[in-house]
Structure formats: structure tokens, C-alpha cells
Chain A
Amino acid sequence: MKLDSMYQDVILDHYKNPHGRGLRPGDAEVHHTNPTCGDEITLRVRLDGETIEDVSYEGQGCSISQASASVLNELLVGKDVAEARRIQETFLELMQSKGRIEPDDAMEEVLEDAVAFAGVSKYPARVKCALLSWMAWKDATAQVLSERKTA
């Protein structure tokens, strides 16, 4: 059934048992919303030099948006910023593919659990849900780095 391509077990698992949920100290905090459906996330990023030490978040929203934040936490914490950006860009490319990208081994290696969202890209109304936390992370990280520059 088509629905199963969106609601993969991996996604439902992350939704029911989210990783790293809850707000912890960070270097920058952002609040992003999805105005069409009311999904919200508050997200903090803490960096140690170039390494992402923590991504903490609190929010409300659908299974897709919540699972996506959990996958992000699992995937990005411990990576350095440049690598995390590559992952974020790959995820964005997959989500904007309208279901046309069939993730290959190379993509799977980069995205790990996040490849489970490939099916979501077929549902235009839900792509924004999947991207919410990733856009918030990108924004928060940019804030930390720009504050560092001006400091």
C-alpha cells in the first residue's frame, strides 16, 4: 500500500521513541513553524569548535516532522559542521525530488535512517513537515557561526 511508503517503520519508530528530544543548553536557539499546518519546533545547536556537540529540540507536530527531528539529532550530533551540511543538502535534494530519486547505496551511506523519508517526497503537502527541523538546524548553525565572526 502507498501509505506504507510514507509511514516507514523507521519513521514510526523515531516518532514513538524520539532521540535527543528536550531542550538543553545551546549556542543559538531558533523557532520555526509550518504556517499551513501548525507544526512548530524550537531548536538549539551547541558547537565545540567545528564539532556539533548537541542538537536539542522541543516541538509539536505530525509524525513526519517529529521523526525527522529525531533522525536529525541521531545523524548530526558528533559530526563536524561541513559534513553535517553535506548531509543536510543531500536530505534536501531527496525531499525535493518529488519521489523521482531512488536512494542508491552512496546516498544511503550519507543519510542512514533519513533515507526512509524518500517516500514522503511524493507528497508535496508533507515535504515541509520533513524539512522543518533541518531548516531550523541550518538557521541555528548559521547564527552560531556568524556570532562567532562578529565576536
Chain B
Amino acid sequence: MTIQLPGLLDTDAIRKDFPILDRLVHDGKKLVYLDNAATSQKPRQVLDVLAEHYERHNANVHRGVHVLAEEATALYEGARDKIAAFVNAPSRDEVIFTKNASESLNLVANMLAWADEPYRVDHDTEIVITEMEHHSNIVPWQLLAQRSGAKLKWFGLTDDGRLDLSNIEEIITEKTKVVSFVLVSNILGTVNPVEAIVRRAQEVGALVVVDASQAAPHMPLDVQALQADFVAFTGHKMCGPDGIGVLWGRQELLEDLPPFLGGGEMIETVSMHSSTYAPAPHKFEAGTPPIAQAVGLGAAVDYLTSIGMENIARHEHAITEYAIQRLQEVPDLRIIGPTTAEDRGAAVSFTLGDIHPHDVGQVLDEQGIAVRVGHHCARPVCLRYGIPATTRASFYLYSTPAEVDALVEGLEYVRNFFG
């Protein structure tokens, strides 16, 4: 029986684009890939572009006069145009390529560490994050706080997995220099209320950094509508290759803020005494960039756009709603995070009685079902809810209701195995 839900994409057609989804694992079991929040699979359209890049256009960028160098440069810079359009950036020069979202966030933290006034983060100033951040949006700010003497503060969480903004005026104050938070939680699935946080940050003149790693792959992302100052995301979760991330930043900030990594590509002129820097984005892209990876991300953005981000969001909403409903039928299963599909992304974390997630994941794997287990690089969330770890199923544009059913059946098998 095929389950029909409103808003589903034609997954039969889409799945043909992803060769890996046909794989059989563990002696002929069909792969059920539910680890999309960790990384997405890659469509043929991206794989072909990567192969073609190395087979036909491979050269370093921005420095050769030969034909391959010109082609590679055009492809690399063309990818920047595509990503700028994908996030509705006012200017292509606001799109910085990094190796992943972690590097993007570290880059912002280090720009602010070395900045002059009015941006400089130092003692007597405050940094604000939240308790549901991925470690990549905690540790860079801890490092900055330790090195600068700034105070690190954070929003706590409500019992149902949402941000507790009840004390927003005590958390974000006149001393706050920067507020950095996740748009969609990788562990709870929560979609956070950007507007309320941005409004308060703007009141006190703090910069706003948004970690959109779990948003960019799944829903329309408009950096102008967000009104943030910086937005970070990574390529490999959105059908692109690994090794490529993005930091979008407002142009005047990128002009004012100092570079972090120094090297080739980011300079204007160099003498033995001092250097001047290229304008953004190159100022923040020292060394040979991940060229093929950027081109691959451009192809991924083309692919996602051809399907339509609104359509992908609608599909995932339907799948998530169905998954939440079916999972709650499993005895002893507790969802960690919102238990409705409203303001919620497609990652669903849960515990299953006393059975440790590691054991859950292992027994699911034996049935061909790939989930993530552990603390998902968000250990403070596990501490907050008094659990050592969770099992997480996360969906994408190719996920089907049948895969949700397979997960639920798999969990019944897990319960019997350890029962």
C-alpha cells in the first residue's frame, strides 16, 4: 500500500536522481537512509558536474591566463552567483566560500576578535547564544569569550523543545555585541523565531549571526528577510559535496571587518613590511579555495531550485507530520523536541525506553535503516533533558512514508530484541 499525504513530491522520480538510494546493504536489504541531518545524498546532476569539472576544466582560479584557468575561474565565480541568488543576497560579493558551516562561524568569531570599534568583542561586552546550538556555534564563541574576556550568555529551552525567550531583555542587553543562534535545530528540529531575536538585537545594536545549516537544505532561505548580519551554512547537507561551506555577510560589515586567515588570493599587494587586502569576498578566502566543491554546490543549488524550495519544505512537512504521528504509536518512545510539525524541521530525535540509542541504531542498521545516534554535537541539549543521547531520524526531499513505516517496524524489532 502506498501512503498518500498532501504536499508530497514525486519521490519515485526524484529517487532516480540519487544512485546511492538503490543500494542494498547487509545481504540484500534495501537502504533506508534517514540520516539527512548529518549529510544528504548527492544527485547524479551534482556528481556529473564534479566529474566533468575534473575531466575538462580543472585548474587553479584567479591566477592563470590559460583557457582552463579561465574556465575554472568562471565556474567558481558562477557558483557564487548561483548561491547569492539562492539566498537572495543583495550582492554576490557578500558570499564567502569556506569549507563548512563550522569554519563560517569561526570566521565570524575571529573577525570580531580582531575588529576595531564598534565591532570589537572584548571584556565588558557580551556574546549571546542558545542552549540548542550545535557545538560549532558554541565552541567558537567560548573561545572568543575566553580570549577576549567577554561574557558568554545563552537562552535556555522550554520543556517542549523551544527557545525560552521570556527573559530576552535580560539576556540581550546594551552590552551584547553579537547574538548567534540556530535557525533550525539539528537535534530538536525546532524552527526558531528569528524576528523576535533580531528585533531585540537591533534595539541594542548587536550583530546577528544565524546558523542556517539545517535550514538552507530544506526551506526557502532569504537573508534579506531574516535581517541577520551573517548567515552560515554548509554544502554537503543540501545535495552538494563536502568540503564547501558558505558565509553570507552584509557588505558594509565585510568591508569594515579584518581578515582572519592570511595567504594567497586574499591580498591586493604584499611587501616584506606589510600588505593590503583584496575586497570581500576574496579578503576572506585565503589560499586555493575548494573549487570543484563550490562548482558542485552551484549544481546542487540548481537542482534544488528546479524542484523548488517551497515544494521541498511542503514535502518534508508532510513526512515529518506523518513520522511524528507514527513514532508516537511505538510504546516507550519519547520524542525529544516539539511533538507537532508546526515550526519544525525534518529531524526527529527520540529515546526508546531504557534501550541506549547506540543499540537502537545498531539493530536498525542491521535492517538497512541508517539513523544517527549520540548527542548530535549538541550535548547541552541532552543534559537539559536529562538523557545521555538520542536516536535521530531525519528526512529529505527523497524520503517516503514507506521509509517512515520501515523505521517504525524496525523500532518494534529493536524492542523485541532487547525486551
A residues near B (Cβ < 8 Å) are 1-3, 6-7, 12, 36-40, 60-66, 123, 126, 129
Contact = CB atoms under 8 A, between A and B. Distances in A.
A38 B379 contact: yes
Interface in B379-414: 379, 382, 388-389
Nearest to B355: A63
A126 B362 contact: yes
B366 A3 contact: yes
Nearest to A12: B418
Contacts of A12: 418
Contacts of B388: 38-40, 60-61
Interface in B344-385: 356-359, 362-363, 366, 373-375, 379, 382
Interface of B: 26-27, 356-359, 362-363, 366, 373-375, 379, 382, 388-389, 417-418
Nearest to A16: B418
A2 B374 contact: no
Contacts of A6: 362
Contact of A63 (B27, B356, B382): B356
Contacts of B27: 2
B195 to A, nearest CB: 34
Contact of A38 (B26, B374, B418): B374
15 contacts: A1-B366, A2-B26, A3-B362, A3-B363, A3-B417, A36-B374, A38-B379, A38-B382, A40-B388, A62-B359, A63-B356, A63-B358, A63-B418, A64-B359, A66-B356
Given A2-B26, A38-B379, A62 B358 contact: yes
A37 B362 contact: no
Contacts of B373: 37
A38 B357 CA distance: 10
B381 to A, nearest CB: 11
Contacts of B362: 3, 6, 123, 126
Nearest to B366: A3
Contacts of A60: 356, 388
A12 B418 CA distance: 8
Contacts of A7: 417
Contact of A62 (B26, B356, B382): B356
Contacts of B375: 37-38
Contacts of B359: 62-64
Contacts of B417: 3, 7
A66 B358 CA distance: 12
A2 to B, nearest CB: 7
A39 B358 contact: yes
Nearest to B374: A37
B38 to A, nearest CB: 13
**Interface centre among A37, A39, A63, A66, by most B CB within 10 Å?**
A37
Given A38-B374, A40-B388, A63-B418, A126 B358 contact: yes
Given A2-B366, A38-B375, A64-B358, 8 more contacts: A1-B366, A3-B366, A7-B417, A38-B382, A60-B388, A63-B356, A63-B358, A65-B358
